């Protein structure tokens, strides 16, 4: 829809999709709706679960124990001299948030089909609100990490947090942008070609192993592999967090900038593709 404010008609509906712009202004106008969606998602999660709230705290611990056994004990992969629980939990928390956002955003059209079929509002409202409301669960899991972290600090383990920890909000923002951008691209592709969903599921689980979650980046000694690892925009984000939180891992401003640029490119492509699809998706679902 275009707003021809200068002319008599305020609404013009044509077969063309967005001719220009990403529709961000329209999205901003709907910030109250985004807030309501976020509030709804969180209340619903909160109300439906009594045991579930505890589950959010506990579930990363289960994954952590599994990693300690499989990657720590059996495979014997080092953890940069950081206690294994702290090392694994930091990666698990960030990755879980990222992959949950990605999956949810990718399923936007399928999940909201009935709502989108009844009323118009800028469709971007839904994926954006999902990324925000997922923060709720993420903060609980981050709480688990902090508890485990403090436990080791009290035990006298020297974890040396530093000023780079202040980059945490930046890391989260870049992660959100990446998940949103890529998720929007996938959601636009899967409206018509449904079997891409299967491919996508495999892709996300493999991606985790291409990101230094279960092993430190320093463990990748092969220089070519190391370079390839850095092409993954998630690598720098995870490493920056680990560097800030406990002084292990690699940090470089250029790697972080690279992630940021990747995020911007994917986000713009994603929004563009999503906006092109949103107008006709209901016909193909």
Partner 1 sequence: MTAIEFNHVSKQYRLGLVSTKTLSHDIRRWWLTSIMRQEDPYLKIGETNDRATKGNSEYVWALRDIDFKVEQGDVVGIIGKNGAGKSTLLKLLSRVTGPTTGTIRAHGRIGSLLEVGTGFHSEMTGRENIYMNGAILGMTKAEIDRKLDEIIDFSGCERYIDTPVKRYSSGMTVRLGFAVAAFLEPEILVVDEVLAVGDAEFQKKAIGKMKDVSQGQGRTVLFVSHNMTSVKQLCKHGILLENGQVSFMGTAEDTIGKYLAVNLEDIDKPLAERTDRRGDGRVRFTNVLFRNAKGDVVTEAFVGTPLTIEMYFDINDPSVDLSKAIMACGLSDSYGMSVANWISDEIEHDFSNLKDEKKIVLHIPALNLRPQTYNFGVQLSIGSTSPKDWCDEIGPISQLTILNDSIFTPGVNLKDCRGHQALVPARYL
Residue 192 lies near partner 1 (rule: CB under 8 A)? yes
Task: State how far the Cα of 87 lies from the Cα of 64, in Å rounded to an integer.
Answer: 9
Q: Which is nearer to partner 1, 240 or 278 (CB)?
A: 278
C-beta closer to partner 1: residue 129 or 240: 129
Instruction: With contacts defined by CB under 8 A, name the span among 5-13, 132-140, 246-254, 259-267 that binds partner 1.
Output: 5-13
Decide if residue 279 touches partner 1 (CB under 8 A).
yes
Residue whose C-alpha is closest to residue 204's, from 171, 182, 226, 177: 182
Site string for partner 1, 224-263 (x = CB under 8 A): ----------------------------------------
5 near partner 1, judged by CB under 8 A: no
Site string for partner 1, 35-64 (x = CB under 8 A): -x--xx--xx--xx----------------
Report in angstroms how near the CB of residue 282 gets to partner 1 at its nearest: 5
Residue 257 DSSP class: H
Of 17, 139, 162, 252, the one binding partner 1 (CB under 8 A) is: 17
11 touches partner 1 by CB under 8 A: yes
Least distance (Å) between residue 4 CB and partner 1: 9
Residue bearing tokens 């923002």 = 173
Nearest to 141 by CA among 90, 102, 196: 90
* Contact in structure between 267 and 177 (CB atoms under 8 Å): yes
Cα–Cα dist 247/232, whole Å: 21
3-state secondary structure of 269: helix
Q: Which of 6, 19, 254, 283 binds partner 1 (CB under 8 A)?
A: 283
Residue holding tokens 């780079």? 164
**Rounded-to-integer distance, Cα 261 and Cα 233, Å:** 9
201 counts as binding partner 1 under rule CB under 8 A: no
CA distance 247 to 238: 12
Burial of residue 112, with CB atoms counted within 10 A of its CB: 0-12 exposed, 13-18 middle, 19 or more buried = middle
Closer residue to partner 1, CB minimum distance, 121 or 207: 121
Q: How many residues bind partner 1 (CB under 8 A)?
A: 34
3-state secondary structure of 2: strand
Question: Among 9-17, 85-93, 129-137, 213-221, which window interacts with partner 1 (CB under 8 A)?
Answer: 9-17
């Amino acid at each position: 829809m275009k707003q021809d404010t200068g002319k008599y008609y305020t609404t013009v509906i044509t077969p063309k999709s967005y001719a220009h712009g990403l529709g961000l202004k329209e999205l901003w106008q709907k910030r109250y709706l985004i807030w309501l969606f976020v509030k709804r998602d969180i209340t619903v999660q909160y109300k439906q679960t009594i045991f579930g709230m505890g589950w959010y705290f506990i579930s990363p611990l289960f994954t952590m124990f599994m990693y300690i056994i499989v990657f720590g004990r059996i495979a014997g992969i080092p953890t940069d001299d950081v206690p294994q629980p702290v090392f694994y939990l930091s990666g698990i928390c960030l990755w879980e948030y990222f992959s949950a956002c990605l999956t949810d955003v990718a399923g936007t059209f399928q999940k909201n089909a009935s709502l989108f079929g009844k009323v118009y509002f800028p469709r971007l409202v839904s994926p954006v609100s999902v990324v925000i409301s997922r923060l709720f669960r993420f903060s609980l899991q981050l709480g688990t990490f902090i508890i485990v972290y403090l436990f080791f600090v009290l035990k006298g383990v020297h974890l040396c947090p530093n000023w780079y920890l202040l980059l945490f909000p930046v890391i989260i923002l870049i992660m959100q942008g990446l998940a949103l951008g890529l998720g929007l691209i996938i959601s636009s592709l899967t409206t018509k070609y449904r079997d891409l969903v299967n491919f996508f599921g495999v892709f996300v689980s493999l991606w985790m192993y291409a990101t230094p979650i279960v092993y430190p980046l320093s463990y990748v000694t092969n220089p070519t592999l190391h370079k390839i690892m850095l092409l993954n925009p998630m690598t720098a984000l995870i490493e920056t967090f680990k560097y800030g939180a406990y002084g292990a891992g690699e940090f470089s401003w250029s790697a972080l900038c690279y992630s940021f640029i990747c995020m911007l490119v994917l986000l713009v492509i994603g929004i563009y593709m999503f906006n092109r699809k949103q107008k006709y998706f209901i016909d193909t679902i």
